[in-house]
Structure formats: structure tokens, C-alpha cells
Structure 1
């Protein structure tokens, strides 16, 4: 039994049985390929059937010495556990050498968020005198108003936008479809972009239904969206670690701050578990803490 064969089988298992998204699947497979490389170079080509708990421990230890972040180490361990669990379930191994692996303890990671003022400043920095600026403004408005993941944004189809009933049909992680309300303000921006900007540009026949296109008329990449946001953030003088996902975090945070029910936010974000959405309650708790410390009379010196 060789590594490449089992990694290929593992990839199919994650895709078809576990319904992993492409990005998560790629990360897991990439992690196991690192383990394969280690087995080939440091363990005399030992197979997945023979590798031991001690071997896996040493592999993780060697990774930690390379100043790999704790979050990356935790994901590696998660990937390894999933791989060997698959081998046991498929009756390739009788024992699971990864069972006792322990990852680094991760503290609660609160995402960066933008204030409403920050978002307005960033959008005002866009040069709306050209088609590129019109497209970029529409991108940011959709990210913030609908709370989409960047992968959902670049794959968004015009045919999945219901302008009459004001909602988007979004295909999220694992192919799960959800409906996201569309504000009339955002709806008008999208319609204007489609008729006044997108229609004038080059449109590749394969991507006729994709909302956001690059200069070649094809769908945009995640990297390009990240670079657009970074450039605009720098121009606006917003000194935060901003990515497309920051607009999603800001969408959820502002909804919660204005009284939205956490369950509704969960549905709009497409979280399968309410636990994932609950991180935003911690953001609200931090805000309340600051209010108490700054304004409670007992804290006024």
C-alpha cells in the first residue's frame, strides 16, 4: 500500500462522503502530503500501514520547530486524525496511531471587524469615474450587505439573484444552498452595475451568468478580491488586518449589535452549527466590557 494511492482515496472520501468544500479538501490533502514527504525522507519510506504514534509525534514536533503557527499545527493534527480515521473505517488499518495526538491549545480568536465609519471611508476611496471602480464598489457592497464568503462572491450567478423578492441564492460550503436577503439599496447597486458597467465589458461565453468578471471576461480570483480590498483599505488609512472575510465578520457583528437574533445570523452566514456563530457574542461582550469600563460611574476616577 503506497501513500499516493491512499491519499487519492482519502481525497475522494472527503469529497464524496464527507462533502468537504474544495478549499478544505485541498488543505487536508496538502497536509497529508507533507506527512508523506516526511515518511519518505526521514522514515525510510514507511507506509501509512506501518507508521506509528511516535512517528507522528516526531513529525508534529519537527513542524513546531519551524515556527509554524499554532493554528496551522492544529489543522495539521486535524488532517492527520481524519486520514487515519478513514484508514481504520476502510479496514486498511486495525489501529489508529493518531488517536492520542494532541494539538496546541488555541485561545478564542476574535475576528477583526470594521466599524460602519471604516466601511464608508473605504467605499468612498473608490474611483467611480471608471468601470473598474464601479465593479469594485459593487463587490464591497455585496460583501458587506450579504455577508458572503469570498468564494461565494466570485461564484455568484446573476440567475441566482431575485430582484423582485430581494434575495440571493448562495451555494456555500459543502454545496449547501441558502437564501440571503438583499437590501433594496444593494439591489439597485447590482442592477446599475449589470446594466451600466458589466454590459460594456468583455464577457466570456462560459461566464455569461457570473456576476463579477475580470478584464478578460472570466470570473475573478480570490487573490484579486483580496488585493482590491487591501489597496482600498490602505488608501482609506484603515490600519487593521483586512481581508474579504472582514466584511463578512462586520456584517454579522453589526447585525448582532442592532438586535438581530443569533439564529437568523447563523442562517444568513450559512453556519451549520450555532457554535460557530456564537463567536460574535464574544465580540459583543468585549464591546459591553469597554462600555462599562469607560462609562460606569464606579470606574470614573
Structure 2
């Protein structure tokens, strides 16, 4: 079996069997591309069926010189998944990553913004320009609903159920969930749709896409990143801000205001509550408040 054939089959497996998004599939494939490139550069003529644990260990050792512990762990995880697939399909008897340990890494706490910082970012939007109303509606939706950037740009007009107070969100692996949307966020979306979007020339295939660029097509992830970076620069915000920062802030502020972890998990679309639990570590005062309120020996 050739590497490119194995990789093509693996990507199909990730899409069909595991239901992963294109972004996730590309991320997994990148780990395999790195290994293939390493083998070609060092003249290793070995197939994915015959490659040994020692060869992969040497690849990881060389790659580690330019990677931090978290990136090393991600690389090992990606390779382990690929070879687990080959074992599952009976191409190999063993996974050469079984005896290779990932480096110990701490759980990285996400950056968050205060409510005042979020207000200042949104106030910095230039509403005199047509894209201003769109940008305000986008940031209000990011923060108000805790969306991933891919979920934001993928929103459809047909996903808006304002009468019921929800939007339908398509998350990782095309899994759908309904997220509550408050009246204030609904108002900004309606302003954009009625006063800006309705006057745009919309390209074929994007008639149902909510947030459009000036050419009448779906916005890119990179454009949303750029919009937020420019706003942060405009207010001289020193934090490293991205669309995901709004999602982290959404969850953290809910927790600080006594929302339960299970509800936050459902709104964020986390499969495991252990992913959501990271927000507990952000605000130690919340834990103190819980003890003071509920412990019998308070």
C-alpha cells in the first residue's frame, strides 16, 4: 500500500465513518503529510504497512526540535489515529505508536474578555459603513450565543427561529444543536438583514447565507479574524483576541453568573463535559462563592 492511497482512504474514513468536518480532516491529514515528507527527504523507502516504531520515533524526535509540548502531543495523537485506522482495516497487526508516549502538558486556560472590553470592541465598529451593521451583528452573535467562527459564518437565514428564541447551529461533524438567542442579539441581526443585506446583490448559492461579504458571498474565517484583530488594535487592547475569545468569554460570564455547567455544555456543543469544565478553572471566586453558599459548615 502506498502512502497517498492510505491517506486518501483514511480521509474518507474520517468523513464518512467519524463524521468529521473538512477542517478537522485537514488537520489530521497534515500530520501524515509531515511524516511522508520526512520519509522522502531522508530517503526512507517504507510503506505505511511496514514502517517501524523506531522510524516513527526518529521522525517525532526530529520534529520535536521545532515543536512545543502541546504541538508534539497533537502530532503523536494524529499519527496514532492514522495507524489505528490501518489496524482496524487489517492492514497492520499493531500500531507503531502504542509504545510512544506523548509529552506531559498542562491544560491551557483560554483567554477571556471582560464585559467592558467586549462593549468597547463593539463600540469601536464604524457603523457609518455598510459592513458596520454586519460586523456588530456578528460580534453580538459570537458573544451572545457562544459560537465557533465556523458556526458563525455557516449560519443561514433558515436557521433563525426568533419567534421561539433559538437559532439552529451546525457544529463539528455537522452535528446540529439549538442555542438560545436573546432579544438584543436578535435586534442587531434584524437591523443588518433589513437595512444592509436586503440591498446587496447576492451570488447564486448564497441566498440563504446570513453574513455576506461585499461580493455577496459567505464570509471566510480569516475575514472574521481580521475584523476582530483590527477592532482590538483600534481600542489598544493588549490581549490576544480571536473569534474564539468571544466564545470563551460567553461561557465564563455565564459561569460567573451561576449558570450550571451542563447547560453551558449544551449551548457550546461540547460532547464531553470535561471540555466545558476548563471554565471552572478560570474563576476561582466562583468556587469560593459555591462553598460559602452550599457547604454545611460555611
TM-score by length of 1: 0.93
**Matches of 1:220 and 1:152, distance apart in 2:** 11
Q: Which digits, 9 at most, give the CA deviation of each residue in 1:170-225, with x for residues without a partner?
A: 11001111000010111111111100111122211210100100111000000000
Q: Which digits, 9 at most, give the CA deviation of each residue in 1:4-35, with x for residues without a partner?
A: 00000111111111112221110111110111
- Residue 63 of structure 1 corresponds to 63
Counting only pairs closer than 5 Å after superposition, residues 87-236 of structure 1 correspond to structure 2 as 87-236=86-235
**Matches of 2:23 and 2:118, distance apart in 1:** 27
Q: Which digits, 9 at most, give the CA deviation of each residue in 1:55-95, with x for residues without a partner?
A: 111101101112x2222211110110001111111000112
Residue 43 of structure 1 deviates from its aligned partner by 4.6
Report if aligned partners of 1:40, 1:46 keep a CA contact under 8 Å in 2. no
**Matches of 2:94 and 2:33, distance apart in 1:** 21
Report if aligned partners of 1:158, 1:209 keep a CA contact under 8 Å in 2. yes
**Matches of 1:288 and 1:88, distance apart in 2:** 45
**Matches of 1:108 and 1:30, distance apart in 2:** 23
- Residue 284 of structure 1 corresponds to 283
Q: Give the secondary-structure state (helix, strand or coil) at the position aligned to 1:4.
A: helix
- Within the alignment, does 1:27 sit opposite 2:27 as a pair? yes
- Within the alignment, does 1:5 sit opposite 2:9 as a pair? no
**Matches of 1:287 and 1:256, distance apart in 2:** 8
The number of residues matched between the two structures is: 288
Report if aligned partners of 1:204, 1:218 keep a CA contact under 8 Å in 2. yes
**Matches of 1:259 and 1:62, distance apart in 2:** 47
- Indicate how the Cα distance of structure 1 residues 286 and 84 shifts in structure 2: closer, same or farther if over 3 A, else same: farther
RMSD, aligned α-carbons: 1.2
Report if aligned partners of 1:39, 1:47 keep a CA contact under 8 Å in 2. no
Moved more, 137-146 or 94-103: 94-103
- Within the alignment, does 1:85 sit opposite 2:104 as a pair? no
Report if aligned partners of 1:154, 1:221 keep a CA contact under 8 Å in 2. yes
Q: Give the secondary-structure state (helix, strand or coil) at the position aligned to 1:207.
A: coil
- Residue 294 of structure 1 corresponds to none
Report if aligned partners of 2:73, 2:102 keep a CA contact under 8 Å in 1. yes
TM-score by length of 2: 0.94
Q: Give the secondary-structure state (helix, strand or coil) at the position aligned to 2:178.
A: strand
